[in-house]
Amino acid sequence: MRTYLYPNASEWAALTQRPVQKLDQLRAGVQQTFDLVQQRGDAALVDLAAKFDKAELKNVWVSEEEITAALPQVSEELKSAIQLAYNNIKRFHEAQREVVQPVETMAGVNCWRKSVAIQKVGLYIPGGSAPLFSTLLMLGIPAQIAGCREIILATPPGADGSVNATILYTAHLLGITRILKAGGAQAIAALTFGTETVPAVDKIFGPGNQYVTAAKQMVTQLGVAIDMPAGPSEVLVIADDSADADFIAADLLSQAEHGPDSQVVFVTNSEKQLQNVQAAVARQIAQLPRQTVAQQALNNSLGVVLTSLEDAMAFSNLYAPEHLILSVENPVELADLVTQAGSVFMGHFSPESVGDYASGTNHTLPTNGYARNYSGVSLDSFVKKITFQQVSREGLERIGPAVELMAEAEGLHAHKNAVTIRLRKS
């Protein structure tokens, strides 16, 4: 972890730069995958599973028998933990339902807005060494609440052609039965273009590796929406002398173990605290099974000492972290200064891990500085907001003359006439 003591504010912008993502270099390979899936459909998915996942697939879909066989493989303790998380996530997202509120903007002119579910959504869930069944909860629950008509889950198979049992259990809990054995850019291609058995979807959700990230960005130019631009995971921790260095080190490492391109940032107003945290990180990383991955991430990470917590918060707002932890004596006061972050964890006993799994908030969040202009996934991500208006004859008589004048001033005479012809006949 690189350290910086009291850097001048003019240096902050350079310090907040993420490691460069070379997505442009991946586009040619992703386009080849897109072309294969468009041309050969399911057969391309089978071939690409053999190439990338070393799996020989007889069918690109998970069968009902596979789901049934997976359920007993998940321990009762883990099932209970998943159920607890399910309940909290569902409760939090159900509270986001928007009530239709008609507004009479003037006598006889009524307007309202209604949330309508996106009809077909694709949920991409990584597998491999870190099968993110928690992400399936975060995406599947709001999709379920929104009322999406068709939910397609795509996740890569293992070398034996099977899908992780906990992912299948979680899908079963959510009532998701259409599970595609596809990972990487080929999964995004199948969800975008469709195949002989895979329906094309309207919006794609979920994290993934650099190829998935590049593929998702590319399909936005093809009429398919995505949840948000996404990159490697990240956390920024602000702490004062009241914080426990062991807690902070654990929080930093919890993000560092995601991948070698993850980034963690520690900002404090205490040189002593920085030294304590660095020592705690060194102790804890030696015990991690994913030590090599975490160490690579730490090489891209930094510790910064600034003169005050207010400066630390200004630095954080410039960085716009995916996750922000306020491990300070008065987190409520400091939280009032937050303007740019994906999700905020307040106080010494609010590790980022609780948001990743079970507190109820969504862990699918903007990374790479996109917290400046994107929100995390919510119920709103799975709906469209459609506006309605109904104007009575009397209402048109009141509003019509203003519309006629405005349309004529813009030189749009047919617009004016659409009002005029009605007023004349009324």
Residue-wise DSSP of 153-212: EEE---TTSPPPHHHHHHHHHHT---EEE--HHHHHHHHHH--SSSPP-SEEE----HHH
> Residue 221 CB: number of other CB atoms within 10 A?
7
Same domain, 249 and 291: yes
Do 221 and 240 lie in one domain? The reply is no
User: Would you name the residues annotated as active-site residues?
Assistant: 322-323
Same domain, 265 and 210: no
- The two structure tokens encoding residue 411: 């030189």
Residues 250, 102, single domain; the answer is no
Assess if residue 174 is contained within a domain. yes
Establish whether 261 is an annotated binding residue: no
301 contacts 1 by C-beta, under 8 angstroms = yes
pLDDT reading at 26 higher than 80: yes
Tokens read off for 365: 């969040």
State percent of the chain over pLDDT 70: 99
Asked whether residue 362 is assigned to any structural domain, the reply reads yes
Residue 32 in any domain: the answer is yes
- Alpha carbon distance 250, 242 (integer Å): 16
Side-chain half-sphere of 285: how many Cα atoms within 13 Å? 23
Of all residues in the chain, the percent with pLDDT exceeding 90 is 93
Closest CA to 136 of 359, 323, 362, 384: 362
Does residue 276 fall inside a structural domain?
yes
**H or E stretch including 390?**
strand 383-391
Q: Does residue 184 sit in the same domain as residue 323?
A: no
Both tokens assigned to 258: 């995601």
Last residue of a domain, one of 201, 226, 251: 226
> Does 167 share its domain with 286?
no
- Residue 242's identity, in one-letter code, is S
The answer to the question of residue 415 being in a domain is: yes
- At residue 371's C-alpha, the angle toward residues 367 and 377, to 5°, is 80
State the DSSP code for 269: S
One domain, residues 102 and 174: yes
Q: Which of the four pLDDT bands, split at 50, 70 and 90, describes residue 19?
A: confident
Residue 22 scores a pLDDT above 90 = no
pLDDT tens, 258-311?
889 899 999 999 999 999 999 999 999 999 999 999 999 999 899 999 999 999
Where in the sequence is the domain holding 420, given as residue range(s)?
A: 392-425
Count of domains for the chain: 3
Asked if 190 and 237 sit in the same domain, the reply is no
pLDDT at 21 over 70: no
Could you tell me if residue 172 is inside a domain?
yes
CATH number at residue 183: 3.40.50.1980
Residues 216 and 259 placed together within one structural domain of the fold:
no
User: For residue 409, what are the contacts with CB-CB under 8 A and spacing of at least 6?
Assistant: none
Please say if the pLDDT value at position 23 is more than 80: no
| 208-222, 268-282, 346-360, 374-388, range with the lowest pLDDT | 208-222
- pLDDT of 58 > 90? The answer is yes
For residue 413, is it within any domain? yes
105 alpha carbon, distance to own chain's centre: 36
Which of 5, 10, 8, 16 minimizes the C-alpha distance to 305? Answer: 5
Model pLDDT for residues 63-102, shown as the tens digit of each residue: 999 999 999 999 999 999 999 999 999 999 999 999 999 9
Known binding residue 410? Answer is yes
336 known ligand binder: no
202 is in an annotated binding site: no
pTM: 0.94
- Say whether 172 counts as a known binding-site residue: no
399 and 365 co-located in one domain: no
